[in-house]
Amino acid sequence: MAMQEQEISIPVADPKDPYVLPAAMPSSADKEPRSFELHDFEMPTRQQEDWRYTPIDRMAEFFDPFTPSGRTGLEVSSIDGSPVDTDHVKVSTVPLGKAPSGTVSKPSDRAAAVEWTSGKESTVLTLSGKLDKPVLVNIQGAGLDLDSFHLVITAEEGAVGDVVVEHHGQAKLAEGVEISTGANSTISTTFIQEWDGDSKHVGNHRIHVGRGATLRHSVVTLGGDVVRIRMDQDFGGEQGYLNMLGIYFADPGEHIEHRTMVVHNHPECKSRVVYKGALDGKSAHSTWVGNALIEPTAPGTDSYELNRNLVLTPGAIADSEPNLEIENGDIVGAGHASSVGRFDDEELFYLQSRGITAADAKKLVVRGFFGELVEQIGIPEISGHLMEVIDRRLSRGESAQMRAVLEEK
Amino acid sequence: MATLEIKDLYASVETKEGRKQILKGVNLTVNSGETHAIMGPNGSGKSTLAYTLAGHPKYIVDSGQALLDGEDILQMTPDERAKAGLFLAMQYPVEVPGVSMSNFLRTAKTEVDGQAPAIRSWAKELSQSMKNLRMDPKFASRSVNEGFSGGEKKRAEVLQLELLKPKFAILDETDSGLDVDALRIVSEGVNRAKENTGLGILMVTHYTRILKYIKPDIVHVFSDGHFVKTGGPELADELEESGYDKYLPEGSNSESALA
């Protein structure tokens, strides 16, 4: 059923004072302005809603402009290592601020504005037609000297393809990502963080889903001292579908934070946000904040968000906060669910009674916990790749033989 | 030839009303190739005995030993007990979402044997065992026990028993919730395992029905946390006739019904 077009005028807010026009505020749960200007953002403190869960003292270096080291490594290929198909994938570089960089929304917090202010250029990936193989963007950390990286992924109208962005090594990285998908395109973007334990990574994803387009946006964060990724999205027309999936694993002392902001601004769009995390050990800390805003312009909206946390050992902390703001009574659905659960003793005993050690039993259960979600991706090359990444994380320290068994090869 | 020797075992459980002793001096010796039926009324502690031997954290051993070929398994973690050769077929097998049966079975086999099974012979053995138990091959790719019917769960337990080849198996009310056909299939699986490996069996039940399919060598009556009578197969027939009432401690009554 296509909605009849109707004209609705939305007042535009002054970014410096979003309260002047409450209807144009991004969300009551999201009081930050949208701006490229650093001075529009206050210095973060734990008293601010957006930063209340973040150990800001551990990432203070990301709050003031810096000179990027420029040493972050970048390689773009097909997922099997072969060169990209240049008929369908164009890789280019533009000065930061020149289109298409800076065209998808605006920074929504100070760290994102700092990345925009400090960076010099942007890598641009343009997808058109139907890609045969997923594109792999391999980002190698530049060590502990601060660097910034900006990536724009643009999918043309009707494009069909998959992009995987991997982060490895040791890094202190401020990253900005802009994703814009054309009308009726079917795109997946998968971001994997496999940082070394002392790495820090602050990311801002700005996402625009075209009319009638489907975007699967996946984030897998499996390591890093502090990783904070903030995602802002909106739709470019009716009947867009956004499917966000997240997986994270926090080790002792690590802080892993994901914030999703889904904005329904057009009729009959659908969004699903499902994030699952496992936490292991003392002071492992994860934060998930899922905001969904359904604007007056978005009748027929169907939205749902879910977060599940599996606490493997005592002493870990999982913050989970879904926020739903509905400004339209004519919707299909808007739901949310959130849970933090302990590792089930009965499951553990059952597996142990079959000879499986407690440590391996936990790995099996965590693998299953994530596997259920990865299975839903439905793109074998992507789900297979993700399970490999998860297996690599879970089988750290295992013998080759046990690794092969646990990984279900 | 292996021996499982339970010596003067006392065990408790934490309840809301405080710690309660359930096992009160259990003594039993089971040898390879023997099938012992452990019968008794509800609440007598039969399942507690099964779970205490397998090492469920809920049960606290107060005193006593359970020697498997001289090694006290009560000092071991549950996985070490499994590696030592003990298997518990549970009354209520636990669901493990997202973990496929095939991955679970292969992991368990690897840990119990100390080495990964050869891929080809393992696949063949798995598929043959499933066929014997009339299990659909697609069970291998389903999550462990998830969405299985009661009968399917029991078949999956016996499948594990056949594949892991323990020295001793405790069957905790494996017959409960099974229709006649499923009872026969599951019993055949147990008998096959015994024939192939000569395992010793402790079969916990309060119905005599399963004894038609799995013939016990020795029948015990368990009441108030310990064995009160031991006999041959004829003891089961006597229980069938007269119930457990005369074995109950004074002042209590049995809520059990014999099939």
- Structural domains present in chain B: 3-247 (3.40.50.300)
Q: What CA–CA distance (Å, rounded) separates A62 from A325?
A: 30
Q: Do B111 and A372 touch (CB under 8 A)?
A: no
Alpha-helical segments (H) within A338-379:
345-352, 358-375
Q: Strand A255-264: give its sheet, edge to edge.
A: A89-95, A121-127, A143-155, A171-181, A200-209, A226-235, A255-264, A285-294, A317-326
Tell which residue, A181, A178, A126, has the closest CA to residue A152.
A178
What is the structure's pLDDT at A389? 86
Q: Give me A341's structure tokens.
A: 């659960």
What is the structure's pLDDT at A276? 96
Q: Do A353 and B104 touch (CB under 8 A)?
A: no
What percent of chain B lies above the pLDDT cut of 70? 96
What is the structure's pLDDT at A253? 94
Q: What CA–CA distance (Å, rounded) separates B121 from A186?
A: 43
A404 vs B contacts (CB less than 8 Å) = 116
- What mean pLDDT comes out for the span B132-136? 94
Q: What CA–CA distance (Å, rounded) separates A242 from A218?
A: 11
- Pair A133, A86: CB distance under 8 Å: no
What is the structure's pLDDT at A306? 95
Distance from CA of B213 to the nearest CA of A (A): 25
Instruction: For A375, name the nearest residue in chain B, comparing CA atoms only.
Output: B98
CA atoms within 13 Å, Cβ hemisphere of A351: 29
Distance from CA of B90 to the nearest CA of A (A): 9
Query: Which residue of A358, A368, A401 is in closest CB contact with B143?
Result: A368
Q: Which residue has the tokens 């100070």?
A: A110
pLDDT category at A6 given cuts 50, 70, 90 is low
Instruction: For B106, name the nearest residue in chain A, comparing CA atoms only.
Output: A405
**Which of A77-81, A161-165, A282-286, B251-255 is least confident?**
B251-255
Helix count and strand count (H, E) for chain A: 5, 18
What is the structure's pLDDT at B54? 97
Instruction: For A371, name the nearest residue in chain B, comparing CA atoms only.
Output: B98
pTM here is 0.83
Instruction: For A408, name the nearest residue in chain B, comparing CA atoms only.
Output: B103
Distance from CA of A41 to the nearest CA of B (A): 43
What is the structure's pLDDT at A407? 58
Alpha-helical segments (H) within A243-334:
none
Whether the per-residue pLDDT at A113 is higher than 80: the answer is yes
Q: What CA–CA distance (Å, rounded) separates B205 from B221?
A: 10
Render pLDDT for B44-73 as a digit per residue (tens, 0 to 9).
999 999 999 999 999 999 999 999 999 999
- What mean pLDDT comes out for the span A230-251? 96
Q: Do A355 and B108 touch (CB under 8 A)?
A: yes
| Partner residues linked to A130 by β-bridges | A160
> Mean pLDDT in chain A?
90
* DSSP state for residue A273 in the 8-state scheme: E
What is the structure's pLDDT at A2? 47
> Mean pLDDT in chain B?
92
* DSSP state for residue B43 in the 8-state scheme: T
B111 vs A contacts (CB less than 8 Å) = 354-357, 360
Distance from CA of A353 to the nearest CA of B (A): 5
Whether the per-residue pLDDT at A265 is higher than 90: the answer is yes
Query: Which residue of B78, B104, B106 is in closest CB contact with A349?
Result: B78
- Pair A296, A266: CB distance under 8 Å: no
B97 vs A contacts (CB less than 8 Å) = 368-369, 372
Whether the per-residue pLDDT at A115 is higher than 50: the answer is yes
Q: Do B110 and A405 touch (CB under 8 A)?
A: yes
- What mean pLDDT comes out for the span A359-367? 89
